[in-house]
Structure 1
Amino acid sequence: MEAVAFVKQPARARRRFSRTGRRQQWVLACALLSQAGCSSTGDLTSQMVPHSWRGNPWGPDAETARHCRRLPTIPSNPPMCAWDAWGRANLRDGDIVFRMGDARLAFGLYPFSKISAEMAGSRYSHTGIVALENGEPVVYDTYKSGPRKQPFSIWVLDVAGAIAVKRPDADSQRFVNDAVAFCRDTYQRQVPFDKRLSLDDDRFYCIEFTERAYRSAGLVLSEPIRIDHLPCYQHFPKAVWLARHFSSIRPDQSAFVIGNDSVGIWSNPALLLIYEAPDARLPYAKLSAP
């Protein structure tokens, strides 16, 4: 799409576009050279931990530290209370939660979440799996710091767009317990984050974490897709060029994606959509869940 716009613009506009394009390339190059995610300035929950804390701020050590008050608890507010009450009333073990995040690279200049989701033709950039623990819904996912467990009311703070919940149908509910057990085990072992988006099982990126959890239980959510076969891959030539030259990610490698109605986890017919909203300011409605 950008290439078409470039051809149709007059010379002065083309020069201006060229300068802008070079700036965008420089920003993305900085992002890729900074190990793809060292400056995720868009995530609110990443800013809720004292600078003195070392390690995963939502891992087992941090969980223990909060219980012992060596780390401050996260203060609540009315929207968080509303989401907590909504989650307690409506969410179940094994629900898959989707969100558009706002993870940014290169000191916040490059909207990594938005671009990665758009390349995959998706409204969402991140997934996690719900578990009910002492009546409270928590979300297991993984991030650059490693596997995390966050109360659902905190997890929604990082929503920067749409939010959705899907649930395995009645025939697939038998896979839920083992999938949640996988999440808890991965969390306790702190399996490293996979910056290379590989398909090895010794480290995971966020979408792969969700896929592997259900595959370990016997339910295949999706098949990996080649990066250069993503629905909107051709719309991002600059990102593709820089990724090929400044990172270890190859266009011909395969990865798990959230996708849409046609590809990825989202397209699995065994997952029933039970909630979707354009944002997470407040719960819009009760779930009409099966």
Structure 2
Amino acid sequence: MNNLLCRSIILLFLSFVFLLPGRAQQTLAYQNLMLQTGDLIFVGAKTDQLSGAINRVTQREENASFDHVGILEVSDETVFVLHASPKKGTVREPLDSLVSDSAEKGKQLAVYRLSEETRHCIPEAIATAKSLLGKPYNWSYVLNDTSLYCSDFVERAFRAASLFHLEPMTFKNPLTGKTDLYWAEFYQKLGMEVPEGKPGCNPNGLAASPNLKKLGDLVLAP
């Protein structure tokens, strides 16, 4: 049995399990929002360090500036987030962990929901996301099959439905038209050229998708 067939059988099994009646409660009140399996959670960007560098070269909307994204899953009265974390790699963990970390850093958390027309793809996306767990974080942001970064993880999860699309990456500061100094030094330390123009994706690009609509911001305790 070849690898492609094995992978297809695993995804089909996970999708079936996900849809079993009573297997998972797909909607749950959390903080001030009613969260659903398949919602995407975006972490607000800061103005400095890696967070600021990501946002400077990718921000598309004045009121949306994000540096991280994950997929929510409601199961057994708990909300989990599936994401590619710089500290932990690709993991499924309670949303409380991300909320606590974001509150400590003073970061916004925004929840976006798929359009009704695209929600049918959620079970397969969750199954695919779970099949990607355990991979390390991709610090080069150059696409490969052995490591993942946050928006890459989400795009791959929904790839079968063509929900999001890869675009040429840019690391140029829009104010200067030149490679952002942070990124120039970042890739110099990695011993590689800045991957300008190579295919990729980013949280701000995903948030701007016409297939998503903002549900609201989580109210975090100070």
TM-score normalised to structure 1 length: 0.56
Structure with greater helix share of residues? 1
Q: How far is 1:179 from its partner?
A: 0.8
* Whole-Å separation in 2 of the counterparts to 1:243 and 1:256: 18
Q: How far is 1:91 from its partner?
A: 0.7
2:200 is the alignment partner of 1:255: yes
Q: How far is 1:176 from its partner?
A: 0.4
The structure 1 segments of at least 4 consecutive aligned residues displaced by more than 4 Å after TM superposition are: 229-233
Instruction: Report the equivalent of 2:100.
Output: 157
Instruction: Report the equivalent of 1:92.
Output: 36
* Whole-Å separation in 1 of the counterparts to 2:147 and 2:215: 30
> What percent identity do the matched residue pairs reach?
19
Q: How far is 1:230 from its partner?
A: 6.9
* Whole-Å separation in 1 of the counterparts to 2:29 and 2:57: 35
Q: How far is 1:172 from its partner?
A: 0.3
* Whole-Å separation in 2 of the counterparts to 1:280 and 1:117: 22
Q: Which amino acid aligns with 1:193?
A: Y
Q: Which amino acid aligns with 1:226?
A: M
Q: How far is 1:233 from its partner?
A: 7.3
Instruction: Report the equivalent of 1:182.
Output: 128
* Structure 2 residues without counterparts, runs of 5 or longer: 1-27
RMSD between aligned residues: 2.7
Is the Cα contact below 8 Å between 1:118 and 1:232 reproduced in 2? no
Is the Cα contact below 8 Å between 1:167 and 1:272 reproduced in 2? yes
* Structure 1 residues without counterparts, runs of 5 or longer: 1-83, 103-109, 283-290
Instruction: Report the equivalent of 1:126.
Output: 68
* Whole-Å separation in 2 of the counterparts to 1:233 and 1:251: 18
Aligned partner of residue 125 in structure 1, secondary structure: strand
| Superimposed CA distance per residue, residues 113-137 of structure 1 (whole angstroms, 9 cap, x where no aligned partner) | 2322233125111111001111211
From 130, 142, 148, the counterpart of 1:204: 148
2:191 is the alignment partner of 1:281: no
2:82 is the alignment partner of 1:140: yes
Instruction: Report the equivalent of 1:267.
Output: 208
With over 3 angstroms needed to count, the CA separation of the structure-2 counterparts of 1:166 and 1:235, relative to structure 1, is: farther
Is the Cα contact below 8 Å between 1:197 and 1:249 reproduced in 2? no
Instruction: Report the equivalent of 1:193.
Output: 137
Is the Cα contact below 8 Å between 1:194 and 1:204 reproduced in 2? yes
Q: Which amino acid aligns with 2:50?
A: F
Give the length in aligned residue pairs.
184
Higher-Rg structure is 1
Q: Which amino acid aligns with 1:125?
A: D
From 49, 54, 69, the counterpart of 1:111: 49
Is the Cα contact below 8 Å between 1:222 and 1:268 reproduced in 2? no
- Summarize the alignment of residues 67-78 of structure 1 with structure 2, pairs less than 5 Å apart: none
- Summarize the alignment of residues 214-225 of structure 1 with structure 2, pairs less than 5 Å apart: 214-215=158-159, 217-225=160-168
Q: How far is 1:192 from its partner?
A: 2.4
Q: How far is 1:171 from its partner?
A: 0.5
Instruction: Report the equivalent of 1:17.
Output: none
Q: How far is 1:251 from its partner?
A: 4.1
Structure with greater strand share of residues? 2
With over 3 angstroms needed to count, the CA separation of the structure-2 counterparts of 1:227 and 1:137, relative to structure 1, is: same
Instruction: Report the equivalent of 1:168.
Output: 114
